[in-house]
Chains A and B, each alone.
Chain A
């Protein structure tokens, strides 16, 4: 299994949550156990472009209970004898090995996964991935020669990982309160994406596009425009260090002085 594996560094590790739930894309070689016609294969692949049920395989890192996963697309690319090459876009947490097995069952001939390459994990695509040797070289150039040009080419800001979850931009004055764990309230919101849904994860950003925190929305996008006060989202993971922006709220302590 090769392909795109986003690795988060240091404090950015908190954004992996956003990546786990984002979609993935794979190219896969599936081996059929008996001959099948291209028409048959196409028809069956088409049937799997749907919500599918999967029980995680024996060797899995999650609880083995039946769960549904969305297959966005499943396109046949090539066949060579009993080998079938396809490309699929699917929800995070879909087991492709299981998918191949199930396709084989529906075809009636049996099948297994032979090779797999991930071509996308959320916003990260194959075309801008780097091999470990290059990563090591760029780091060495920075550490020993003080040359950061290579480093900048292969490390991406953590905000890139948030591209696919709904973004909400907030006022400077709201930022530090959020960094201290306060919930996002209506007056702080400047703009938001129409994809904000109650219960789903959102990314809260400054006008400079820096990530402030990951939050759980408690209202839908349609409600936000008309809200003058009240909580929009509950802060879940704070990404920005406290004190980056000045404190925007009044403290009772000052009154006493």
Chain B
């Protein structure tokens, strides 16, 4: 079986359908968001320690950062 490219090895080709401009008065570039908005629309790339489950780690983040909701992408098993 020939090796297939992983999703992060694939180059995405962008096709332009029409030209357009964006009005600077509305919205805001993701990297220019205020700290409060960054928290509201943010993701933390946590280095999960061994021991606790992914759900526990997510719950800790929720408590530490005083968040109402958190989610996590992909469970890592709790114990080896």
Contacts and interface: CB of A to CB of B under 8 A. Distances in A.
Real binding pair: yes
Nearest to A212: B27
A147 B21 CA distance: 34
A207 B22 contact: yes
A72 B1 CA distance: 10
A164 B30 contact: no
Interface string B3-47: 111111110111111111111001111110101001111111111
Interface stretch (A11-19, A32-40, A103-111, A249-257): A11-19
Contacts of B46: 4-7, 129-132, 135
Contacts of B38: 151-152, 155, 157
Tier of interface size on chain A: 35 or more
B74 to A, nearest CB: 5
Nearest to B10: A195
Contacts, number: 264
Interface in B34-80: 35, 38-50, 54, 57-58, 60-61, 64-80
A50 B27 CA distance: 44
Nearest to A14: B71
Contacts of B15: 191-194, 221, 224-225
A22 B74 CA distance: 10
Q: Which of A89, A155, A192 has the most CB of B within 10 A?
A: A155
A132 B57 contact: yes
B20 A122 contact: no
A159 to B, nearest CB: 5
Given A16-B73, A23-B7, 19 more contacts: A1-B76, A9-B67, A9-B69, A19-B73, A49-B3, A89-B6, A89-B8, A97-B77, A116-B77, A129-B47, A135-B46, A151-B38, A152-B38, A154-B45, A158-B43, A167-B12, A172-B22, A210-B29, A244-B27
15 contacts: A3-B47, A7-B43, A7-B57, A12-B40, A16-B73, A20-B74, A130-B44, A151-B39, A156-B43, A161-B43, A192-B14, A206-B27, A207-B22, A224-B17, A245-B27
Interface of A: 1-16, 19-20, 22-25, 47, 49-50, 61, 70, 72-73, 89, 92, 97, 113-116, 118, 120-126, 128-132, 135-136, 139, 142, 148, 151-152, 154-161, 164, 166-167, 171-172, 175, 189-195, 206-211, 221, 224-225, 239-240, 244-246
